[in-house]
Amino acid sequence: MQRTLRVDSRLRLVSFQLNLRRMSTRNHLEGLNKQQRLAVEFPPNNSLQILAGPGTGKTRVLTSRIAELVLRHSHPPESICAVTFTRKASIEMKARVREYLGVESANQLRLGTFHSVCTSYLRAYGPWVKLDPEFSIWSKTDSTLLLKYIAEGLCKGLSRKISMNKLYNLFAQAKEKARLDPCRRPEDILEASINFQVLAKSGSSDDGDPLDSLGYISEIYSGYSQVLTKSNALDFTDLLIKGLDLFQLRAKPKEIGRLKHILVDEFQDTNGIQYLILKELFKAAQGSISVVGDPDQSIYGWRGAGMSMHVFLKVDLPETKDICLEQNYRSTSAILDFSLSVISQDTTRPQKTLFTLQTPVGPNPAKKALATEDVEYTSIAHEIKRLIENSDGILGHDDCAILVRTKFIATRITPVLEAAGIPFRVLPERSLIDLPEIKTLIAFLRMIMKTSDTPMIIRTLVGPLGADKEAVTTLLHRSIEQKNILFHTLERLQNGTDPDTTPSSIGPVTTLIRLRMHLKTRLDMGATPSELLRDAIKQTDYYTYLKKKHALQYEHCIQNVQRVLQHARIFPNNMDSSPASRVYAFLNFMRDLSRAKIKTGKVTLLTCHAAKGLEWPVVFVPKVIEGVFPHAKSLVDDVETEIAQERRLLYVACTRSQSLLYMTRPETIFEGRNADKRQIEVDESRFTKTIPLELHDKQFSDISKGDLQLFKDILKRNSKDDAPLQA
């Protein structure tokens, strides 16, 4: 009998593998180089660290390894957990895995960001950590809106002195540190780390004593935490902490215990909380983990990530094997040599290199000094025009990127591009759902689904319903005092059971409660997201509100609203699912709409941090001077770890380029403002000053026919019409 069962299980396994191969459309091993294949075929029951330099095909290796685990080693797809750092990366990975395994098997993988993986487990097992599985997830925008109203209720004008974004980040860091050190509370960490200069808004002037402002920080944190708890809501930090709580339970859910292999993308970006999550996951998988990362691209130390995570992995799993991916498929040999000359200045880094089989080597990167910043930016604009005019139709505006150290530098460059008639875009662009007129529109839907969604209640009240902001602030603080959610406080106000009535808010509050009741009734009767949105627009006279609120951009706002309504109208409504499920599906769809258009015909401006993971044929890096590379903040204490991170950031910027790389710098800059403004000389960045002369040109060079042919080969194009966009 036992032998029969073994035979049956083997037959089922063979059938499963054959079905997968029939559904796949691509061989996962095809086209891999020797080192890539070594990483993909590495035994699955061991720990593997893949050190992948820029442009070496790490995503291909990671997805091929997933296919290898399923097809060759018979791991059920649901037993594999793959973690990425961005939604974009997870979407790209899932698309590639579908080619190898088919749609059904790819969808069974636990593949997503740290936050989405934690969310999926908490939805299923929330009660195990005293969490209602119907919890809401509040974005940073939601949380900062809430923080603003809590701050104003404690001290009028406080939100004009303190940056709510910085305050949100401070709270996140305090919660993470407290979770890593159970002997400390977030409140204690806040008291020890609060610094007004860090929290102050850029350019703000505080008329009072900064210490007075700091005294409210703990109260803001207390109120914020209470609203989250009462609303059954988690911010992004809470999501990771609750996920870690679940994974660290001694008696774990069986589903976690069934994990066979963990994979991690961009491992060098892992912070302390995220590493502990991974540690629990690979413990469940008996130490079977594959991480892909590059210590040379570790640039997020300010949010807790660092090269030390590679060391921690070796301590926890001493048998971890290293495999280096060094063959670059992105850049010319000249760009790689220049980039390696930058990063090799760090003698403590793991010794690895980059090479390409592309020939010839390509033009040397340009390293040019200009008299002033204005001359520098004008030269960049002229060079972009010259390249496009002389590239035989191969290059266009959308093939060029300008990577800046800070957003402020971008604001200095954009007027120059405008004057030169060069089309451009500044990333990250706001997605449709992030526009003010759309945020409020979406708030109608979220308010219907959950009365505990306090940020959406606030947005609706002070938006089209016209409630006074001070009155809403008062009501929010009253709800905190009553240990209640805001909506219940509004109901008490409408019912006359609240003795401390705010007369100016009664009308908008009554309208809100009636509107919510009306829309909820329509939802229960089967109304689609499109019908609910149109009804909300009509009930609130939304277009009139937009005309008053956004008079100068009214037509543009209307166009954006119409775009959302169009998306809602054509959104596939599965009539077999509940009306509420259809609304949630539409909200997720809106969130996932691409931020950046694929084909723009514009030069791209963005920070070096934001450029990580992207590539362009032509890259300009301006203002490569001391105080920028490395940034002035890293020079205050002259801490080598911070300076090394600045060096890695410049390396990341260099390795975004496929064909042409330009490093420019001004010899003088203006310092101070107005009457105190003066011109001073500045030094070239220490990171580029020592690069050998043979690796760069001091002027912008002409492009030869041989160079053009090389560009065609690298970019895989014959004419501009064939150009694929990478950004």
- Residue 257 labelled as part of a binding site: no
Distance CA 213, CA 209 (A): 7
> Residue 165: which of 182, 138, 143, 134 has the closest Cα?
143
Q: Which residues contact 265 (CB under 8 A, 6 or more apart)?
A: 58, 59, 62, 82, 83, 84, 85, 89, 93, 292
How many other C-beta atoms are found inside a 10 Å radius of the C-beta of residue 678? 9
Structure tokens at 339: 């980039």
Counts of helices then strands in the chain (DSSP H, E): 34, 16
Residue 338 φ/ψ, nearest 5 degrees:
-65, -45
Structure tokens at 335: 């760009």
* Backbone φ/ψ region at 286: left (φ over 0), alpha (ψ -120 to 50), beta: left
Label residue 510 exposed, middle or buried (CB < 10 Å: 0-12, 13-18, 19+): middle
- Residue 301 labelled as part of a binding site: no
How many other C-beta atoms are found inside a 10 Å radius of the C-beta of residue 555? 11
Distance CA 473, CA 433 (A): 25
- Residue 77 labelled as part of a binding site: no
- Residue 53 labelled as part of a binding site: yes
Distance CA 22, CA 495 (A): 64
Measured over the CA atoms of residue 51, residue 56, residue 62 and residue 68, the dihedral's sign is: negative
Q: Which helix (H) or strand (E) holds 405?
A: none
Look at residue 293 and give its three-state secondary structure: strand
Q: Which helix (H) or strand (E) holds 163?
A: none
> Residue 50: which of 33, 32, 62, 64 has the closest Cα?
62
- Residue 724 labelled as part of a binding site: no
- Residue 192 labelled as part of a binding site: no
- Residue 102 labelled as part of a binding site: no
Distance CA 363, CA 706 (A): 10
- Residue 420 labelled as part of a binding site: no
CA 445 to chain CA centroid, nearest Å:
25
How many other C-beta atoms are found inside a 10 Å radius of the C-beta of residue 235? 23
532, 522 Cβ separation under 8 angstroms: yes
In terms of DSSP bridges, do strands 321-325 and 261-264 run parallel, antiparallel, or are they unpaired?
Answer: unpaired
Distance CA 49, CA 317 (A): 11
N- to C-terminal Cα distance for the chain? 59
Q: Which residues contact 431 (CB under 8 A, 6 or more apart)?
A: 593, 594, 595
Distance CA 634, CA 640 (A): 9
| 3-state helix/strand/coil string of 122-157 | HHHHHHHHCCCCCCEECCHHHHHHHHHHHHHHHCCC
605: number of CA atoms within 13 Å, CB side? 25
Q: Which residues are annotated as a binding site?
A: 52-59
Residue positions forming the annotated binding site for ATP: 52-59
